[in-house]
Each structure stands twice: as structure tokens, then as C-alpha cells.
Amino acid sequence: MSCVQTLRELGYRMTPQRQAILEAVHTHDDHFSTEEVHEEVRARYPQVNISTVYRTLELLKELGLVTQTDLGEGILRYHHIDKGHHHHLICENCGAIIDVDESVFSPLKRELLQDYQFKANMSHFAIFGRCAKCQR
């Protein structure tokens, strides 16, 4: 499990809690919530507190191992970086979610770097608007 190595190498401690959370994260191909990870971790370690899950996912995000997005549900969802980059177009009217390849953002990313020397971290975007069906 490469994350375990990564965390250790960066000077973080490996705890049973973190190990279980990392394993849960790796089993998901989809956009998982903190709650879901907590449930899965508790199946084996019932005492693990959800704030530990929040803190660990936040850490993984800062290390760039997962991405974090609010898909408009009012909760944060995470996605493992190894499972592919992409973005989402979310219809404010019908809730449809359209997946978009990350390449769509490349020109914008390049422009921000050239014009503002700003290195945008656009690894998992949610853009709200209206899908084809819902434009009256």
C-alpha cells in the first residue's frame, strides 16, 4: 500500500486508524463520503471517531493523494487520485452530473500560470449550471 510508505516517509505516524482509513479509501473507485469511510472503518475498529476520519482525509487531500469536491449535496466527497482525473458539470435544475475530462481545463490553467504566475490546483472541479435538457 503505497500511501502507507508515503505517509511514513513524510514523517507522519502510522496508526491502526490511519491504516484502516487508507484501506477503505483504496477500495473505492467512486466518490466516497467521510461518513462512508467511517462506516467501513468502524466495521473493524468500532471505536474510531469520525473526527479522526475527517482529519485523515484532510491530510490526504493536503498531500495530494485524494481530491475533495462538493457535488452540490452539502457534503464533501473524496476521490482517489490514482483512479483518474476528471471534473463534473452539475445541473442546478435536474441534478444531472456530466463528467468532463480534465483536459478541458488545460487552457485556463495555462493562462492563469502565464498571466498571473498562479499555479491552479484544479484536480477535481464541480461547475454548476444548466444541462442541455434544462435550458427551457
Partner DNA sequence: CGCTTTATTGCAAAGGGTTGCAACAATCAA
Partner DNA sequence: TTGATTGTTGCAACCCTTTGCAATAAAGCG
In the complex, the residues that contact DNA under the rule CB under 7 A are 8, 11-18, 33-35, 45, 47-52, 54-56, 58, 74-76
Least distance in Å: CB of 4 to DNA? 9
Chain position carrying cell 478541458: 104
Least distance in Å: CB of 116 to DNA? 26
Rounded distance between C-alpha atoms, residue 62 and residue 113, angstroms: 21
52 binding partner (options its own copies, DNA, none; Cβ < 5 to 8 Å by kind): DNA
Q: Which is nearer to DNA, 50 or 96 (CB)?
A: 50
Amino acid at 76: L
Whether the Cβ atoms of residue 122 and residue 69 lie closer than 8 Å to each other: no
Rounded distance between C-alpha atoms, residue 36 and residue 39, angstroms: 5
**Contacts to its own copies by CB under 8 A:** 89, 91-92, 98, 100, 104-105, 107-108, 111-112, 115-122, 127-132, 135
Q: Which is nearer to DNA, 47 or 135 (CB)?
A: 47
Rounded distance between C-alpha atoms, residue 105 and residue 78, angstroms: 20
Q: Can you name the residues that pair with 62 across neighbouring β-strands?
A: none
Q: Which is nearer to its own copies, 23 or 102 (CB)?
A: 102
